[in-house]
Structures are given as C-alpha cells and as structure tokens.
Structure 1
C-alpha cells in the first residue's frame, strides 16, 4: 500500500500527507536546505517500529534525496510547504503518532518554540511533537531554549543542553577503497573566490602540484564560481550545484572529504559551538575520512585514527600529501575506525530519540 501511495503522490500529487495510527510525520519545511537530514531521521523512526510519512519539498524528491532509500513502511509525500501548512493548521497531526520537524527555525525564527508547538494543535492523547534546531544561538541568547529540542551534535555554548540525534543514513551506500591511481578529494558546498575556505583549499593543491604530486583530483560540488590558477586546472573538476542523486554518486567515488574551517574566523566557530555542518553527515554516512583542522575535530568525533588532522592552513598541503601517500591498509583501518564512530553515534542517537518519544 505504501509503494502505491508513493507513486500516486509522486506522479499525480496529493491533497494531504498520508497518515494512520502508528505513523510518524517527518516534515522538512525548508525548501532550500537541510533536506539531506530527512532520510536519516526517517530511518531512526522506522527502526523504532513506526510507519514514516515524509513531507519534503517536491523538488528535493525529484533531485533524489531518497534515491538510495526505500522501505515498505516509508511514504514519500510530494506536497508543497504551503499545502502541508494548511493541512496541519486544519487537522493538527490528524491520527498520527507524532511529528518530527527537521528545521524548526522555519516555524519559530529560532526563538518562539511555544508558537511552533501550538501550530500543530494536538487532537489525540499521546501524540508527540519533536523539533530539530540547526542553530541554537538565538534561542539560548534570548532565554527561550528548550532542552527537549533535537540537535545534530552536542552543543558547546553557555551550558545549553539538547537531545542529540545525528542523521547520517542515506540508504544503500557502497563503501569504496582508496583509489589506486588518482586520489580523489571532494568538497561539498559553495566554492567561491570570495570565501576564505576556497583559497585555503586551492592554495594547498597548488603547493601539492609544485612538489610534483600530480596523481590527484579535486571534485568541487556546490554553487558559485571560482577562478582557478592555471597550474591546477587539470586537477580540478567544478561540478556546480548537483541534485542529490549525483552528489551522492560523487561522494561515493571520492577517497577523502575536505573541510577548511579556521579557528580564528568567527563564522566558522559555529561548527564547534552552536551548530554543525552537513559535511559531517556525509563523512559518517559514506565513511570518507575527513581532512579537518585540529580544533574542529574532537567535538565531532574525529581524531588521527579516523581522520586526517592538520594544525593550520599552512600545513593543509602536507595533510593532503599524507592522504595521497596513505597505503590501502592504513586507509582501510581509518575507514574501520570511522565506521565504529558512525555506529556509536547511530546507537546513541536511536536511544536518545526513543527516550524522547517515550518521555
């Protein structure tokens, strides 16, 4: 029945999302970002024994955010945000067990959680309303933070507590070994001339080529434009913004995942204090060792055994060289350690979500 509903909704549209007793809604009200977390949250709820009725922007479904993931108890509703809002305003949660909203900031501006709870106008006893917040600073600073709200990672800001449930499941993922010929690095996100992290990565690649290390390829996925130095143009592929299906494919084929956070650059500090990065979900889910600055590693679970750590931007190129020269055996051990981390995060997250629902 679920598969038939999925095809009906996908090709003919739906007037309202599917639900029945035992169903949990998972709604991503943001039409531009954060959709990559939805499969992971749906997976947790399926593992807890619920049917899951997903409401996500129709374009994100077309882009393949669930292209690697199917389940008889998973219903994907191709319904716009406006139609979903009208449904919830009129019927609350209908007869569903509850709802998990994966970006509550779209309902609360990061502050008014009481208003967000009231939006769903509970009608049945035992229904649960769960929210995910991607940036806790406005609520913590404003005194409206709710410790029952879910975050993707443990926050480190003014003693704030949350329920940590990290979504890093994307479906059927092929775990690949290190390439034997061309070592592939991937960066996912805007790679633009005006961004500091762009210059760090490109400068490191330029130094790598200057040292005669040319069996490399940099894959850049994300919107924006960048002027590449002539000497590294043969070693860089600018893919631009890709649909989820193609982005998943590129991550799967890569060997290492690049980040370039700087501890002395204020906008980057949110990745260790009040928020997190979608890059880490891809690292955990696809088991791609990440190249990361040492200050940003520990709170996200990374260390020298599961990742490649560097001290500052001047040593970034040396970190890339370590990746290139890493043996297949060393790479395999690093992936195994990364899998252990991802499995631990998954188990802890599943338990935390179960306890929150039963609370």
Structure 2
C-alpha cells in the first residue's frame, strides 16, 4: 500500500507536468512566466470541486462573504463574526491562495468555497442567480498576483445589485474616482475600516477578530519582545526608525530585549549591529502570525509622519497594524501623530514625538507589571467601544 507522502509526491509531479503543458500550448512567450506562477499557486482540483459544491448546494446562508483578491485574508474572520453574532448564517467564497494561509482558523459554522482567477468569473455567474440577502465584498479593487484579471466581469457584478452589496473600500480617495462607489457611498453601502473624517455616509466596521485568548499582560521577568508585522517595506513602515530605536537602547546599555520581524527577511544594507537583535521570521500563515504577535510584549507600527508615503495612513487608508493591536491586545509604541488618528492615547499605548522612538522603547521596557496591565485594560476598553460601534453599523444593514 502506497503511503500518503508518495501519493502527494506523484500528484505534485503530475500537476507540474500539466501546468507546463498548458503554459506551453496556451500562452505566448511573454505571458508564460506569469501564468506558470499563477497556475502553480492554484488548487486546481480543490477549487473545481468547490465550484461544483457551490452551484449544487440547495441551502444558502443569509450572507455571502466574497474575497476574490489574493489579499486581505486577515479581515475576513472579523467581518464574518459580526454577522454571526447577530444571528446570520454566512457562506464564504475566497481565493485559494488566501485560503491556503488559513485566515478562517478561528471561525466555525461557515460553508467555505475556494476559487481562483480561472473559475471566479463562472462563480460570479452562479452567485448572480443566488438568493443571498447580503453580498459582502472584502476588497473593492480586484488584485491577483500583482495584476488584475476579469475586472470588467467583477465590476459589473458589483454594480448589478446595489441593494444587496456591501463593499469594503480600503482607500477613501478611491470613492471620488468611481461612479459606482459614489453611488454606494450615497446609499450608505460603503464600508471602511477607519472613518478618519467621521463621514456620516460611511459605515465604519473594524474587523480584528483573530480568535479568543488570555489578555493578561506579560511579566516584566520575561525578556521584552518588540514585534513588527508586515515586513520592512518603506511604503508601509520606516526601517530607519527600528535602527534608531535599537541603537538607542544598546547605547544606553540596555540589552535584554529582542525584535521579531514577521513578513520579510533582512533587507539589503540592514546594519549588522541592529540585525543581531532581530529575529527574522519571514512570511507566516495567519495562525502563526497571530501567535507570534500575542506572545510579544509591544508592537512597533514604525509609521513615520515625515514620510510622504505614510500620510495616507492617517487620512485615507487604515494601517493593518491597528487591526493586530486591537485583535491581539498588544500595547503599541507609536508616533503621537498616528496615535491621535486612530483614537489612541497615553492611556492605551506608549507614545513618542518626532524621532524619539528609542526613548519610547526604553519607557516600554521599564514599565512595571501594574502599568502594563493598566495600559492593556484601557486598550481592551477602547477595543470594546470599537466593536460596539462596528456591530451597530452591521445591524443597520440587516
């Protein structure tokens, strides 16, 4: 009898051969590499089986959660839980490349269906004929493998049933650029994670449920761990702040700490003296990401008010760091400019002005157990208010 490992190995070889044959026969030279990567990331058999299950199912949930982009898996459990807590049954359709990272590990009671860029247009046709009361779209812009696919089909689908659609817009600046987004906006069918301007026509629903866990603050007897999640790309965070903070601590003779970076490896040119204090975790699936953040002492968003690329994170785009701070109840060390933008204060986080991140990290390390517990308790209260406000918005949709 063949072992499971042998069967999987043989299937992997067969899949690779099939993909190479399809790419060789169906695509021009300029498109071969791109489609080879796309097909390798698809669960071809699983997605087709899931497609058949979807079109053949006799009973459907009240709400369909739809995520066809290869991103934003982290927001899915939070949005789904809001509907479930209000008594709604939820079906989920999600791109298989996102599903592979297991974002729904903390959610029970949903019927799940995976898809891919090849099957998604067919799936949208089936959804058109369904009787869902609400179709909740997790990403307005359709992103797939750093390119866009079947955008016309996707856009027309979103425009067809405005009374059923709820769409998450991740950048408020896109609203004025799109006629159909403007229409949803006027009818209060547009959802945002952070309503920076308190616009009464926008529905702020903040998704940050990553499972249940103990919220007790860590003991000061443990080594202090600062965590950075999402890599060190300049468009989202400034690694120079990390370098400055670590060097400040080392210069003060403070060595009993470490920094954990999730989402990327060591950037080119990153200084050796700072890298010695960093644990590079690389990309993790969602359960391991949340476990890593929860086990850390403090969160470093590394948002820089002096960087033009970061201005959007206090005016139009909600930083994913904020979701992790709420969901994992981890105290952030954050610039005052961004703390104010997200409703934080010195009662919920360690705030710094200008380039004083090193001093803020030192203050964080020296917090007593009681001080950490007080900050965590206030952060939990703030999170509770966010949940209450978000749930009220969802209730208004039903």
What's the TM-score once normalised by structure 2's chain length?
0.77
Q: Are 1:162 and 2:202 matched, yes or no? A: yes
Between the aligned partners of 1:184 and 1:162, the Cα distance in structure 2 is 37
Which blocks of at least 5 consecutive residues in structure 2 are unaligned? 1-44
How many residues are treated as equivalent by the alignment? 339
Moved more, 223-232 or 182-191: 223-232
- Structure 2 SS opposite 1:15: helix
Give the Cα–Cα distance (whole angstroms) in 2 for the partners of residues 14 and 247 of structure 1.
29
The structure number with the bigger radius of gyration is 2
Give SS of 2:119's match.
helix
For 1:206 and 1:9, locate their aligned partners in 2 and report how far apart those are by CA, in whole Å.
49
What SS does the corresponding residue of 1:105 show, helix, strand or coil? coil
Separation of aligned partners in 1, 2:234 and 2:194: 30
CA-CA distance at 1:62 after TM superposition: 2.4
Contact 2:325 2:332 in 1 (8 A): yes
Counterpart residue number, 1:343: 384
The Cα shift of 1:333 comes to: 0.7
Residue 273 in structure 1 maps to residue 315 in structure 2: yes
- Indicate if the aligned counterparts of 2:224 and 2:365 stay in contact, CA closer than 8 A: yes
Quote the residue 2:87 is aligned against. 49
Distance 1:93 1:298, change over 3 A: farther
2:212 matched to which residue of 1? 172
Residues 91, 245 of structure 1: alpha-carbon distance in 2 compared, 3 angstrom cutoff: closer
2:245 and 2:118 map into 1 onto residues whose CA distance is 45
Classify the secondary structure of the residue corresponding to 2:52: coil
Instruction: Say if 2:227 is the partner of 1:186.
Output: yes
Match of 2:362 in 1: 321
Contact kept in structure 2, 1:293 and 1:312, CA below 8 Å: yes
| Secondary structure of the structure 2 residue equivalent to 1:297 | helix
* Mapping for residues 155-234 of structure 1, pairs under 5 Å: 155-156=196-197, 161-179=201-219, 180-192=221-233, 197-226=238-267, 227-234=269-276
Indicate conservation of the 8 Å contact 1:88/1:120, yes or no: no
Gapped runs of 5+ residues in structure 1? 1-7
Aligned to 2:373: 332
Contact 1:19 1:96 in 2 (8 A): no
**1:23 paired residue among 58, 62, 70:** 62
Q: 1:119 to 1:36 in 2, by over 3 A?
A: same
**Residue range with higher mean Cα deviation, 254-263 or 338-347:** 254-263
2:279 maps to 1:242: no
> TM-score, normalised to structure 1's length?
0.85
Q: Does the 8 A contact of 2:47 with 2:116 survive in 1?
A: no
Match of 2:23 in 1: none
CA separation of 1:10/1:307 partners in 2, compared to 1, >3 Å: closer, same or farther? farther
SS of match in other structure, 1:26 = strand
Tell me how large the CA RMSD over aligned residues is: 3.0
Tell me, in whole angstroms, the C-alpha distance in 2 between the residues paired with 1:276 and 1:298: 13
